[in-house]
Structure 1
Amino acid sequence: MRYVHLGSSPRIHPDAVVAPTAVISGDVTIDAGSQVLHGAVITAEGSPITIGRNVIVMENALIRASSVHPVHIGDHVLVGPMASISGAVVEDEVYLATGSRVVNGARVGKGSLVRTNAVVHLRTTLPAGTVVPLGWVAIGEPMRLLPAAEAEAIDPARRELDFPGFVFGLDGDAPDYMVQLTERYGSSLARHAADTPAD
């Protein structure tokens, strides 16, 4: 299904193929030769999403732009099943394996491989050709690669990157953080009530 969101309709090249059960919403551009498979969701929540040529978005993948973080995916990229990209840049010839995550403000350099269940964290830049091992976390500037089991090393870097402030504009230490988050984010998402089918 294709939806008009905030007045913008998806623009899909005639040579691209989108499965009938995929959802494409808002200011999304998909270039020639790209394939979006069943169950994938590509939703522009106020900023654009551009997907290059010959990109494969596999089953149940999620690509989401926020109101302040657009998404750009270069050419010849494979986004694996259940992988997600939120408000990030993925350069050409990148492979994001099953269940991998690329978080707001991140940049994945050309020719990189993010293996199964690995994470490229907030505001982290992977240099070209980087391999993030299975289940590991790439975090910080300069980027460090850490196994998920090293939570004690990941947590200080994660706190320094300030996910609540960077993504939601909120103080994560505020006592009513979740109240603020759900009310503000819920209000933003409620704009989908006015969406209309574009097909």
Structure 2
Amino acid sequence: MRFEHLGTVPRVHAEAVVAPTAVISGDVTVSVGCQILHGAVITSEGSPITIGEHTIVMENAIIRASAVHAAHIGSHVLVGPMASVSGAVVDDEVYLATGSRVVNGAHVGRGSLVRTNAVVHLRTVVPENTVVPLGWVAIGDPVQLLPADEAEAISAVHAELDFPGFVFGLDRSAPDYMVQLTERYGAALARHALDRRVDG
């Protein structure tokens, strides 16, 4: 299913294959030879998404761009089932395994492997040909690779990266932080009420 969002219609190359249950919304470019499988969601929330040649987005994967963070997926990339990329850059020939996450402002270098359930965190730069181990967290620039059970070390770097400030422009210490977040984000998402299906 393809939807016009904020006046922009997805551009899907004639030699790309999109499953009928996949959703592509807004300013999205899908290049030649791509395969977008069942249940995948590719949604632009105000910034563009580009997907390079011969990239595969598997079942129930999510690729999204926010109003301030575009998303770019390079060529010959495999985005595994239930993986997600949000407002980040993924270079060519990267494998994002099942359930992996790449968060806003991150950059995954060419030829890297982000294994099952691993996370590439906010504003993190993963150099070329890096392996992020199964369930581990890549965080920071320069990157640190940490097992998920090192929560204290991850939290220390995470605090410096300021997720709510970077992604939502909010101060987490504000007493009404969640009120501000849900109302602001909800208002932005409500723009989908005006979306129009463009593929019949």
Same fold (TM over 0.5): yes
Give the SS at the match of 1:128.
Answer: coil
Identity in percent: 77
2:83 paired residue number: 83
1:106 paired residue number: 106
Query: What is the letter of the counterpart of residue 15 of structure 1?
Result: E
Structure 2 alignment gaps of length 5 or more:
none
Separation in 1 of the partners of 2:175 and 2:198? Answer: 42
Q: How does 1:15-54 map to 2 (within 5 A)?
A: 15-54=15-54
Tell me whether 1:150 sits opposite 2:150 in the alignment: yes
Separation in 1 of the partners of 2:93 and 2:62? Answer: 19
Aligned CA-pair RMSD: 0.3
1:168 paired residue number: 168
Tell me the CA shift for residue 175 of structure 1. Answer: 1.0
Separation in 2 of the partners of 1:157 and 1:56? Answer: 32
TM-score, normalization by structure 1: 1.00
Structure 1 alignment gaps of length 5 or more:
none
Separation in 1 of the partners of 2:172 and 2:108? Answer: 26
Give the SS at the match of 2:182.
Answer: helix
Separation in 2 of the partners of 1:142 and 1:29? Answer: 31
Tell me the CA shift for residue 173 of structure 1. Answer: 1.3
Query: What is the letter of the counterpart of residue 106 of structure 1?
Result: A
Q: How does 1:116-135 map to 2 (within 5 A)?
A: 116-135=116-135
Q: C-alpha deviations, 1:65-88, integer Å up to 9, x for none?
A: 000000011100000000000000
Tell me the CA shift for residue 141 of structure 1. Answer: 1.2
Tell me the CA shift for residue 30 of structure 1. Answer: 0.2
Separation in 1 of the partners of 2:49 and 2:198? Answer: 17
Q: C-alpha deviations, 1:95-153, integer Å up to 9, x for none?
A: 00000000000000000000000000000000000000000000011100000000011
Separation in 1 of the partners of 2:118 and 2:98? Answer: 9
**Across the two proteins, how many residue pairs are aligned to each other?**
199
Query: What is the letter of the counterpart of residue 112 of structure 1?
Result: S
Separation in 2 of the partners of 1:38 and 1:122? Answer: 28
TM-score, normalization by structure 2: 0.99
Separation in 2 of the partners of 1:125 and 1:140? Answer: 7
Give the SS at the match of 1:160.
Answer: helix
Query: What is the letter of the counterpart of residue 101 of structure 2?
Result: R
2:5 paired residue number: 5
Tell me the CA shift for residue 18 of structure 1. Answer: 0.2
